[in-house]
Amino acid sequence: MIMPKEHGMWAWILLPLIVGIGSATGPKVLGMPLLISVILWFLAFTPARMIYKNAKKGIPQSDNVIKWCIRYSALGLAFVYVSLSLQIRSLLVFALFAPLFYFGVRASYAGYQRSFIFEITGIVFLSLLSFGGALTVSGTLSQADVAVWAVLLLFLLDRNLQARNAVRGGDWFEEEPPKASELRFVFRINIFIALASLLIASLLLEYFMMPKIYMAAFLPGFLATGYFFMRPPTSVKSLGWMEVAVAVSYAIIFLYLKSTL
């Protein structure tokens, strides 16, 4: 199977949609086809990127890559149809993100996928999936959905800045792995980023008149940063898996609080 290599991308793509679906008022089952279709199109993204890159370089295409791209895309289209059948307003989601899929495929060949501006812009666009999930479930958008999106976007930007700082500041791509002392300096900066995020989260929650207890959703990320400060990571992969765990924790805590408060 052809699978995405970027662990953190799972969090950036699925977290907004899951939080949007889970926090909206209405039958959550309406959002399941949309969620499955997004997962399938994310899986299709990697082979599509490989096909585009090989075509531009004039390299013969791999039959296996083409096969999996067709499989993921066909299943993705099937669930797009199911999603539209249940809630026609989900068409807005697909209309917005179809161009984003195309630009993402081109980015790998053009070489700007690691650009800071490209990453931040991508995260802002992907965070809008929160609205897509809420719109699919409830058929409308409310101020509460805007509040959920704003806090979620802050979380995504916080984790992206920290991950980018850890990867770039650690010089993981050099021949020698980064020293523990170098990484501790990097994660000391990340601790300040995490504290700033908590402060901004407090201000956002006050502005939207939401309970401050929602700041608890940021706690696993803060603890992960502190853990890596005390015990620096040994590979970029460990950073990626930690970001996935932090994103899952955010979704669980936030949706639990949303359902109980």
Residues 102 and 9 in one domain: yes
Residues 154 and 213 in one domain: yes
Range of the domain at 214: 142-261
**pLDDT grade, residue 1 (50/70/90)?**
confident
Residues 189 and 225 in one domain: yes
Residues 129 and 229 in one domain: no
Output b/e per residue, 100-124; b: 16+ Cβ within 10 A: ebeebbebbeeeebeeeeebeebbe
Residue identified by tokens 């679906």 is 21
**pLDDT grade, residue 167 (50/70/90)?**
confident
Residues 198 and 173 in one domain: yes
Q: What is the pLDDT of residue 151?
A: 97
Q: What is the pLDDT of residue 145?
A: 94
Residues 48 and 133 in one domain: yes
Residues 53 and 161 in one domain: no
Output b/e per residue, 149-184; b: 16+ Cβ within 10 A: bbbbbbbbbbbbbbbeebbebbeeeeeeebeeeebe
pLDDT per position as a tens digit, 36-57 = 999 999 999 999 989 988 888 8
Distance of CA 8 to the CA centre of its chain: 7
Residue 176 scores a pLDDT above 70: no
Residues 180 and 123 in one domain: no
The stretch 98-125 carries a mean pLDDT of: 79
216 vs 102, higher pLDDT: 216
Q: What is the pLDDT of residue 113?
A: 63
pLDDT per position as a tens digit, 189-241 = 999 999 999 999 999 999 999 999 999 999 999 999 999 999 888 777 888 88
pLDDT per position as a tens digit, 5-22 = 776 778 888 999 999 999
Residues 171 and 218 in one domain: yes
Residues 152 and 184 in one domain: yes
Total tally of structural domains belonging to the chain? 2
pTM score of the predicted model: 0.89
Alpha carbon of 194 to those of 163, 189, 210, 236, 242: distances in Å? 11, 9, 20, 20, 15
Residues 194 and 234 in one domain: yes
Question: What's the rounded Cα separation, in Å, for the pair 48 and 2?
Answer: 10
Q: Which of 95, 122, 140 is the last residue of a domain?
A: 140
pLDDT per position as a tens digit, 63-99 = 999 999 999 999 999 999 999 998 888 888 888 888 8
